[in-house]
Structure 1
Amino acid sequence: MMQFTETPPPTFHQISPFTSLLSMNKNQIHRTRPWPGFPTSKSALGSLGDANCMEQLLVHCANAIESNDATLAQQILWVLNNIAPPDGDSNQRLTCGFLRALIARAAKSGSCKMLTAVANANANANANLAIDTHKFSIIELASFVDLTPWHRFGFTAANAAILEAVEGCSVIHMVDLSLTHCMQIPTLIDAIASRLEGPPLIKLTVAGATEDVPPMLDLSYEELGTKLVNFARSRNVSMEFRVIPSSSSDGFSSLIEQLRIPQHLVKSNNATEALVINCHMMLHYIPEETLCSFENPPTSSYRTMFLNSLRDLDPTIVVLVDEDADFTSNDLACRLRSAFNYLWIPYDTVDTFLPRESKQRQWYETDICWKVENVIGHEGVQRVERLEPKSRWVQRMRNACFRGISYSEEAVSEVKSMLDEHAAGWGLKREEDDLVLTWKGHNVVFATAWVPT
């Protein structure tokens, strides 16, 4: 167990340049202690405030925590606390989120007295390490998801693919596995209501996930269902709503079981009913192999089992939208680098349109901090943020006997029109059959559509 001692923070005159630190190995760092002090002027802090330098400091700190080097971990945490205020620029705020996560991880390893002192060294910094995520009302959540294309991109691409796939069907059974609590559905209802052949009956099945993953809603799924049914009625669309309590921790097995028998009856009794599986940023919460190798035999990957189960249902279409990053490594430093080089994007985007005092910005960044803490501060079954890149999901879908289908030019045009409503940094690119949302040229979210082979 790592024991954190009451080592005093270095004084300002004990300066060791960060460039020298990067060129040193661990033994050299120990020989040149006390380290690190740093100058107090903004100009002298410039190099330490560089994103690459902050990333290196975070990696060094993570390695120190993992190797039980409490003294070095404390010193680096102290530096990070001083150069990464929570109200700084986007890089500083991002680093502050990782700092909190490392403190939470280190505190589990031993006495955290020193860590508390470090965290509170700046009165405006991390006075409370607990992340207080906001519970949204329906109106707040709808406004929240409209802030950026992060979710709207997936909504627009998925709805376009779904509408094409269910054309001519009198009944649409949609299974919605969505992180955003059915916020995609009203737009789909609006589009279906204006269908030339008349609106179909919509049967909406929702997995009432048991995990508290942000964004969180302040009403029950039953209340949400009532609101959706009433909204559909206002558009002259008939809707049935069903919620099935189910957990991503076992691959939504109870949901799959509930779907199997009714779907068999549907296939024999109503040839015009379409089964739509809509997966919006939810499947990466299903455990994957790096966890299963510890908890279960490697052959029992819940992701593989879930996708095979979907294939057995013979759906009309499966839409898979998720974030294009890899948070699965069992190596903490590797996972930290991957998360740092992806999660700068949401921090950077909010600087373009939300003032610092905005409540929406606070909610937005709190949700990102929750993700950072889960990726960095937790392990095993408690680490649920296990993003995989698009290439790996594509291979998973193919292995489960699905084939990708291309988005039509009309769908691409709709996505482009939606992006025009947002900041100029957002872009769209096509990769084979798939669509990818970008920010300043960097992949952010992908949208794929699949049918059984």
Structure 2
Amino acid sequence: GLELLNVLLECAQAVHRQDLDSATTLLAQLKHGASVYGDSMQRLTAHFAEGLATRILHHRHSATAAQLLPPAKLDLLHSLILHRPAASPAAADDHLAAFTALYKVSPFFKLAHFTANQAIVEAVAGRARVHVIDLDILQGFQWPSFIQALASRSGGPPSLLTLTGIGSSAESLRDTGNRLSSFAAMFGVPFRFQPLVVGSLEELDLGARIEPRTGNGEVDDMEEEEDEEEEAVAVNAVFQLHRLLNAPRESRKLERFLAGLRRIRPAAVTVVEQEAAHNAPDFIARFVEALHYYAAVFDSLDASLPQRDEERVRIEQVMFAAQIKNIVSCEGAERIERHEKMGFWAGKMGECGFAQAPMSSHSVSQAKLLLQLCPCDGYRVVESPCEGWPVGSISLGWQQRLLLTASTWGCA
């Protein structure tokens, strides 16, 4: 394992300085030691080697040099690239199968969803009309437990739950909406699903699409009487905001998006992001950080599933290998997996007019209970793990490495 790690680092340095002869020689060594069915280090090597090979083949600075490589070395580079179905029904089925498998064996998404849900339930407590905007609804896995929680409120469910589901496929959104509508009907929660098809978050101006809850910020007697009927809006941003960092800093794409979000005066904004610094401009620093982060992710899967388990291979390839490939091989606008740590998000949210709402003790105890239901030991829940972080944020860790952090924000 340590030998593979050293060769990976040496290869990354060769790619960075565009020493393609050395890089391809080292990639040949890595190919010999890598296997998507091996131990966690061999599997990790397969995906990082793919990223390095792709970087050589496609990076704009290396294009001319790559054309000068002999055919045998070009064949080597192509052989390291793992072929996955492009955007298609087969790819969507693959993603659903991988997501479902990961949900069963790991708290990675489950803790993110349940923690965000609990924060929203508390923020909209007692409100008759609730509107949740999910920035990437996928198959809607997050929302059945939320609907159940609203159904069991002491004062009864809301008179209307509106869920705006954002995604890139109209067909997928329709299927998700139908499933959630049936679920809400089963639990007696009046429900309306609003699909919103967008290619990327930067196309979305929430401030222009969603009316603020109050017109001028002032409440007269009549407004006070009608306050029950005003929508309590919550925005769910699970593993989404980092995708707005793929533009020059001066474009302030993230800041403009958060300003639009603030205009709708949400009762809660739930932010969950991977606890990693994958946005470093320096390639080697980014590579090393990604290697350490995904080593922890792959180790956690190793503790849950056998090496040759096809579900494990699918989870790693569909859910995480694409992230690794993007971090390692892409630059500029194409590099969208720009994860930042909680300190960064706390600064940005504060700068854009949001104040942190501490997670409740119930959220913390619920997160710890989820870990007890995991098929393996090694995961841990950490509250506000670093000095200077918002009090009340919750992090999921594997052994000594933090994997993700959840926090909740309201308008300052």
By the TM > 0.5 criterion, same fold? yes
Q: 1:413 aligns with which of 365, 368, 371?
A: 365
Supply the distance in 2 between the matched residues of 1:179 and 1:275 (Cα, whole angstroms): 16
Could you list the per-position Cα deviations for residues 255-301 of structure 1 after superposition, in whole angstroms to 9, with x for gaps in the alignment?
44212x3655798875232101111111111135xx314xxxx1x21
Unaligned runs of 5+ in 1: 1-48, 121-125, 211-217
For residues 325-404 of structure 1, what are the structure 2 equivalents within 5 Å? 325-367=276-318, 368-404=320-356
Give secondary structure in 1 for the equivalent of 2:368. Answer: helix
Supply the distance in 1 between the matched residues of 2:272 and 2:328 (Cα, whole angstroms): 24
Supply the distance in 2 between the matched residues of 1:280 and 1:430 (Cα, whole angstroms): 18
Aligned to 1:42: none
User: Structure 1 residues 352, 266: CA separation in 2 closer, same or farther (over 3 Å shift)?
Assistant: farther
For residues 293-304 of structure 1, what are the structure 2 equivalents within 5 Å? 293=249, 298=250, 300-304=251-255
Give secondary structure in 2 for the equivalent of 1:410. Answer: helix
Could you list the per-position Cα deviations for residues 77-122 of structure 1 after superposition, in whole angstroms to 9, with x for gaps in the alignment?
11111222332210111111100111111122323633344358xx
Q: 2:124 aligns with which of 154, 160, 166?
A: 166
Letter in structure 2 aligned against 1:222: R
Q: 2:400 aligns with which of 420, 433, 441?
A: 441
Moved more, 131-140 or 271-280: 131-140
User: Structure 1 residues 360, 428: CA separation in 2 closer, same or farther (over 3 Å shift)?
Assistant: same
The answer to whether structure 1 residue 309 and structure 2 residue 277 are counterparts is no
For residues 171-190 of structure 1, what are the structure 2 equivalents within 5 Å? 171-178=129-136, 180-190=138-148
Unaligned runs of 5+ in 2: 385-390
Letter in structure 2 aligned against 1:449: T
Aligned to 1:98: 48
**TM norm structure 2:** 0.86
Q: CA RMSD in A?
A: 2.4
Aligned to 2:248: 292
Give secondary structure in 1 for the equivalent of 2:51. Answer: helix
Supply the distance in 2 between the matched residues of 1:146 and 1:173 (Cα, whole angstroms): 28
Letter in structure 1 aligned against 2:383: R
The answer to whether structure 1 residue 271 and structure 2 residue 221 are counterparts is no
Supply the distance in 1 between the matched residues of 2:171 and 2:102 (Cα, whole angstroms): 16
Supply the distance in 2 between the matched residues of 1:306 and 1:181 (Cα, whole angstroms): 24
Task: Report the alpha carbon displacement of residue 193 of structure 1 after superposing the two structures with TM.
Answer: 0.9
Aligned to 2:387: none
The answer to whether structure 1 residue 229 and structure 2 residue 181 are counterparts is yes
Letter in structure 2 aligned against 1:366: Q
Is the 1:207–1:255 contact (alpha carbons within 8 Å) kept by the matching residues of 2?
no
Moved more, 418-427 or 352-361: 352-361
Aligned to 2:104: 146
Could you list the per-position Cα deviations for residues 52-71 of structure 1 after superposition, in whole angstroms to 9, with x for gaps in the alignment?
x4344323322322322121
Task: Report the alpha carbon displacement of residue 450 of structure 1 after superposing the two structures with TM.
Answer: 0.9
Letter in structure 2 aligned against 1:149: P
Aligned to 1:136: 93
Query: What percentage of aligned pairs have identical amino acids?
Result: 26
Is the 1:55–1:337 contact (alpha carbons within 8 Å) kept by the matching residues of 2?
no
Aligned to 2:29: 79
Give secondary structure in 1 for the equivalent of 2:295. Answer: helix
User: Structure 1 residues 435, 149: CA separation in 2 closer, same or farther (over 3 Å shift)?
Assistant: same
Task: Report the alpha carbon displacement of residue 179 of structure 1 after superposing the two structures with TM.
Answer: 6.2
The answer to whether structure 1 residue 427 and structure 2 residue 380 are counterparts is yes
- Aligned length, in residue pairs: 382
Is the 2:207–2:262 contact (alpha carbons within 8 Å) kept by the matching residues of 1?
no
Supply the distance in 2 between the matched residues of 1:378 and 1:95 (Cα, whole angstroms): 18
Is the 2:101–2:315 contact (alpha carbons within 8 Å) kept by the matching residues of 1?
no
**TM norm structure 1:** 0.78
Supply the distance in 1 between the matched residues of 2:113 and 2:377 (Cα, whole angstroms): 20
Task: Report the alpha carbon displacement of residue 127 of structure 1 after superposing the two structures with TM.
Answer: 6.3
Could you list the per-position Cα deviations for residues 208-256 of structure 1 after superposition, in whole angstroms to 9, with x for gaps in the alignment?
237xxxxxxx952012111111111011111101112224352x43444
Aligned to 1:23: none
Is the 2:205–2:257 contact (alpha carbons within 8 Å) kept by the matching residues of 1?
no
User: Structure 1 residues 128, 388: CA separation in 2 closer, same or farther (over 3 Å shift)?
Assistant: closer
Is the 1:284–1:387 contact (alpha carbons within 8 Å) kept by the matching residues of 2?
yes
Give secondary structure in 1 for the equivalent of 2:245. Answer: coil
Give secondary structure in 2 for the equivalent of 1:206. Answer: strand
Supply the distance in 1 between the matched residues of 2:185 and 2:7 (Cα, whole angstroms): 56
Supply the distance in 2 between the matched residues of 1:355 and 1:342 (Cα, whole angstroms): 21
Is the 1:176–1:182 contact (alpha carbons within 8 Å) kept by the matching residues of 2?
no
Letter in structure 2 aligned against 1:426: Y
Aligned to 1:61: 11
Supply the distance in 1 between the matched residues of 2:316 and 2:167 (Cα, whole angstroms): 25
Q: 1:197 aligns with which of 155, 162, 187?
A: 155
Letter in structure 2 aligned against 1:452: C
Task: Report the alpha carbon displacement of residue 358 of structure 1 after superposing the two structures with TM.
Answer: 2.5
Supply the distance in 1 between the matched residues of 2:143 and 2:95 (Cα, whole angstroms): 13
Task: Report the alpha carbon displacement of residue 395 of structure 1 after superposing the two structures with TM.
Answer: 0.7
From the two aligned structures, give the one with the greater helix fraction.
Answer: 2
Supply the distance in 2 between the matched residues of 1:280 and 1:381 (Cα, whole angstroms): 21
Task: Report the alpha carbon displacement of residue 326 of structure 1 after superposing the two structures with TM.
Answer: 1.1
Supply the distance in 2 between the matched residues of 1:345 and 1:196 (Cα, whole angstroms): 41
Supply the distance in 2 between the matched residues of 1:226 and 1:87 (Cα, whole angstroms): 38
Letter in structure 2 aligned against 1:271: D
